[in-house]
Structure 1
């Protein structure tokens, strides 16, 4: 089992140790977007490194969460509870949220 909060700190410590950005939040969002694009491309081209690309996406997201002081594990659990309570119906062929 992964302790996501502990992993956030580990990702941050690695960024510091390697001299990576830990101050420019917009740059981190751009890097995250770039990694997601690489993962999409790996999927589209059926490349063998799709798993590694998805790991890069996760690591950038986890690192960004630490930079912003957000407990990602807590936020994910809260969002899952919220999503599980939502009700959806197919209306005119489109899955539509009908109850929050």
Structure 2
């Protein structure tokens, strides 16, 4: 399935507006992202597959929202970074 990340970013921000959530304070959103990432970590530690999937989605939703708030295109940013990573020589990588 191909996902239109720009469309998702707009939908995430619109949902936040419709529910009266923050749409301007990037620092606050980054802290919330950290919290969602911790919830994902805890779900992983418990091997709670259903919760893992939900927390992964929450992390993605926060990233999409932050990207839209910053005027960035997360899909394009990821694609560009993957191009850099393909050419990168990694030293001392984990095995």
TM-score when normalising by structure 1: 0.87
- TM-fit CA distance, 1:95: 2.2
Q: In 1, distance between residues paired with 2:11 and 2:46?
A: 32
Partner of 2:3 in structure 1?
2
User: Is 1:18 equivalent to 2:16 in the alignment?
Assistant: no
Unaligned runs of 5+ in 1: none
Partner of 1:95 in structure 2?
93
Partner of 2:52 in structure 1?
50
- TM-fit CA distance, 1:73: 1.0
Partner of 2:80 in structure 1?
78
TM-score when normalising by structure 2: 0.91
What does the per-residue CA deviation read over 1:27-65, in whole Å, with 9 as the maximum and x for residues that have no partner? 100000000000000000111310000100000011000
Aligned residues: 92
- TM-fit CA distance, 1:24: 1.1
Q: In 2, distance between residues paired with 1:54 and 1:73?
A: 16
Q: In 2, distance between residues paired with 1:16 and 1:84?
A: 38
